[in-house]
Amino acid sequence: MAVKRSRKCIDSVKSLASTTNTESPRRKIKLEAYEAIKKEESEPSLKVANEEIRISKHIKVEIEKSSLIEPNIFPFVDKEHESIGPKKWSQIYNEIVKMRAQFMAPVDTQGCERMPNTINPNIKQRNPRTYRFQLLISLMLSSQTKDEVNYDAMMKLHHGMIEKGFAEGLTLEAIENLSESEIDSYINKVGFHNRKSQYIKKTCQILREKYNGDIPKTIEEIVEFPGVGPKMGYLLLQNGWNINSGIGVDIHLHRLAQMWGWVPKNSKSPENTRLELEKWLPEKYWADVNPLTVGFGQVICPSKGSNCDLCSLASKGLCTSANKKLLRGSLTEERKNKLLSNRADLTKLIESL
């Protein structure tokens, strides 16, 4: 019974590294489960198998590596960089850092770089090669698709492949065994799914024939994959290989950078915005600026229906596009309820006002 009970605790805590909300009841339950494992190991009367002890110790290491830093905790701008770039850019950046620390946006768990570890806990540490492949697929599916929809498609692919007998779920080997129509049946809720099914199948063929089944390490090689542009490529290099060779600019960062004057108003595309940002933004912030601003754009400042009454950029006069009517209005119960139905839990941000 002791071994069986220890295994149950271990299974309960395995996904802890992907649980990022330290206040959630679910995390507390898992921490209690982990404490139960430690207690069982410390009692000599319980004959727990050596393998069980080894696994629990491994889990503890993974928790220490992966779970103690929240994914939406970003560093502030260094003093030495404050005078670089457009006027007040560092003030804007730092205010976003403060706001983002108070809520979890979809990008924090369902964004492309986070998603593989969310659906397959600790895959980045356990199997970096598989992580890179899953990251590539999530990026390919993300175009013209919300994170939540992309996440659902990735979950279907991952669990579908497990059901077909592939232990790590979504892998190159698993996708190679699917036809384009079968791939499409898993991803048919994402934008342009028919085309993406073709792209994924072709990319798998290229990976196998040219790169021994792994992701290449240069942006020039990556953007040769069908449907993969610079944004995807730079994010893939940053998170898959820890190579920081450019900024991944999506539509949120493109829009917000124009609004704040970080790039010219006539910057026509995310690629133009990337080139403009890379002229002045220190490389230290290249990897963080996308997830930082994407989460802000998803929750606080979407393209439609902004929440300026919650935004410190608006209240501190750092954003010239602020909705003055919202700023003058009071935070009524009706307004609070509307805010609480957002894509993220804004309770802490509301309470901080």
- What is the rounded (10 degree) CA torsion for 159, 164, 169, 172? -130
**Side-chain half-sphere of 26: how many Cα atoms within 13 Å?**
9
CB atoms within 10 A of CB 1: 6
How many CA atoms are closer than 13 Å to the CA of 44, on its beta-carbon side?
Answer: 0
Q: How many C-beta neighbours within 10 Å does residue 248 have?
A: 27
> Rounded distance, CA 161 to CA 319, Å?
47
Question: CA 121 to CA 161: how far, in whole Å?
Answer: 16
Candidates 79, 189, 231, 268; catalytic one: 231
Distance (Å, whole) CA 75 – CA 91:
13
CB within 8 A of 209, min separation 6: which ones?
Answer: none
Residue 70 CB contacts under 8 Å (≥ 6 apart), including other chains: 20, 22, 101, 108
231 is catalytic: yes
User: Do the Cβ atoms of 139 and 235 come closer than 8 Å?
Assistant: yes
Tokens read off for 158: 């991952």
> Where do the H-state alpha helices sit in 143-283?
147-163, 172-176, 180-187, 193-211, 219-222, 230-240, 251-259, 270-280
What angle (nearest 5°) sits at the alpha carbon of residue 220, between those of residues 186 and 74? 70
Give the CA distances from residue 279 to residues 84, 246, 273, 282, 284, in Å, rounded to whole numbers and listed in that order. Answer: 11, 11, 10, 9, 13
Tokens 């698993």 -> residue: 174
Q: What are the structure tokens assigned to 317, written together?
A: 């006069």
| Residues designated as active site | 231
